[in-house]
Chain A
Amino acid sequence: MSNFFQFHLLTSYPGTLLNRDDAGFAKSLPFGNATRTRVSSQCLKYHWRKYEGKHAIRKAGDMAIRSRRTFRQKIADPLVEKGYDERLVAATVQGLSDILLSGDTSKGDIKDNVQPVLESDDPLGETELSQLVVLGQPEVRQIRKDAQAVLDRVAEADYNEDSVAQTRDAIADAIAVDELRSNLAALGNAMGIDAAMHGRMVTSDVMAQGDAAVHVAHAITTHAQQREDDYFTAVDDLQDETTGGTEAGSAHINVKQLTSGLFYSYVVVDLPLLVSNLEGCKREEWKEADPTLTKEVLRRFLHTITTASPGAKLSSTAPYARAEFVMVESGDEQPRTLANAFKKAVPAEGDVTEASIEALTSYAARMDDMYGAQEERICGTTSETDALPAERATLPEIADWIAAHVDRFYTNGTSS
Chain B
Amino acid sequence: MTYSILRFDAPMMSFGAPIVSEEGLIQPFPALSMMTGMLANALGYDRREPEKHERLQRGLSYAVREDMPGEKIVDYQTADLGHPHLQAKSKGGSVAWTTWGTLDQRGSGNTATTNIRNREYWAGAVYTVALNVQHLAAEQIEAALRKPERPLFIGRQPCLPGVRMYQGTVEAERPQEALADEETFATDEEGTRLMPKRLWYACDADTSGNVMPVTDARDWTNQIHVGERFICEKAMPKRWLTAIDALSQRST
User: At the interface, yes or no: A194 with Cβ under 8 Å from chain B?
Assistant: yes
The answer to whether the Cβ of A42 comes within 8 Å of any Cβ in the partner chain is yes
A301 vs B98: C-alpha distance in the bound complex, in angstroms?
A: 30
Q: Which B residues are in CB contact (< 8 Å) with A336? A: 160-164
Q: Is the CB of B99 within 8 A of A208?
A: yes
Of the candidates B11, B48, B116, the one whose C-beta lies within 8 Å of that of A207 is: B48
Q: Is A337 in contact with B160, judged by CB distance below 8 angstroms? A: yes
Once the chains are docked, how many angstroms separate the CA of A40 from the CA of B123? 13
In the complex, identify which listed stretch (B140-148, B198-206, B240-248) lies at the interface while the others stay far away.
Answer: B140-148
B residues 36-70 with Cβ under 8 Å of A?
A: 44, 46-48
Among the listed A2, A42, A335, which residue makes an inter-chain contact with B160, where contact means beta carbons less than 8 Å apart?
Answer: A335
B73 beta carbon closer than 8 Å to chain A: yes
Q: Is the CB of B150 within 8 A of A270?
A: yes
A185 touches B89 (CB 8 A): yes
* In the complex, per-residue mask of B148-164: 1 if CB is within 8 Å of any chain A CB, else 0: 11111100011111111
Contact indicator per residue, chain B 105-119, by CB within 8 Å of chain A (1) or not (0): 000000000001000
Q: How many A-B contacts if CB must be within 8 Å?
A: 180
Q: How far is the CA of A204 from the CA of B104 in the complex (A)?
A: 7
Assuming the A-B contacts A2-B149, A336-B164, A339-B11, are A30 and B124 also in contact, with contact meaning beta carbons closer than 8 angstroms in the complex? yes
Q: Which residues of B contact A209 (CB under 8 A)?
A: 47
Chain A 139-164, CB-CB to B under 8 Å as 1, else 0, gives 00110011000000000000000000
Chain A residues touching B, majority SS: mixed
Residue in contact with B97 in the complex, picked from A142, A333, A335, A339, CB distance below 8 Å: A142
A215 CB to nearest B CB, Å: 5
**Contact of B88 with A by CB under 8 A:** yes
In the complex, B86 has a CB within 8 A of chain A: yes
Evaluate whether A182 and B91 lie within 8 angstroms (CB atoms) in the complex, with A21-B76, A340-B163 already known: yes
> Which chain B residues lie closer than 8 Å to A138 at the CB level?
99
A202 and B96 contact, CB distance less than 8 A? yes
B19 to chain A, nearest CB (A): 12
Q: Given A205-B99, A217-B11, A30 and B89 touching (CB < 8 A)?
A: no
Q: Does B223 contact A (CB under 8 A)?
A: yes
CB contact list, A1-35 vs B, under 8 A:
2, 4, 21-22, 27-32
Instruction: Please give, as numbers and ranges, the residues of chain B lying within 8 Å of A185 by CB-CB distance.
Output: 88-90
Instruction: List chain B positions with a Cβ less than 8 A from chain A.
Output: 9-12, 44, 46-48, 71, 73, 75-77, 84-91, 94-104, 116, 123-124, 145-153, 157-166, 188-190, 223
